[in-house]
Amino acid sequence: MSQERFALEHDIDRTQYGKIERGEHDIGLSTLINVLDKHNMDLSTFFKLLDKKLAKKSPAKKRQLPKSK
């Protein structure tokens, strides 16, 4: 799908979408919610899926708590 078509279908300005895709601009919460709504997904599900994907790419290192005195 082209940037232009995706932007049009998700009510996002084409130039803004291009900047988001290239990492030049962060996606706003309202834009993210709009995109997720169009795909019948809520924020909770999105972040659970994102967490799983990130965990596969970079397993979390075990953090050690400072020893109390």
Q: Each residue of 8-29: pLDDT tens digit?
A: 988 899 999 999 999 999 999 9
Q: How confident is the model at residue 59 (pLDDT cuts 50, 70, 90)?
A: low
Domain presence at residue 24: yes
CB within 8 A of 21, min separation 6: which ones? 3
Domain presence at residue 18: yes
Domain presence at residue 26: yes
Mean pLDDT of 43-59: 88
> Would you state the pLDDT for residue 28?
93
Domain presence at residue 49: no
Domain presence at residue 32: yes
Structure-token pair, residue 27: 């996606």
Provide the domain limits for residue 19. 1-41
Domain presence at residue 31: yes
Domain presence at residue 69: no
Confirm whether pTM is higher than 0.75.
Answer: no
When divided into structural domains, the chain yields a total of 1
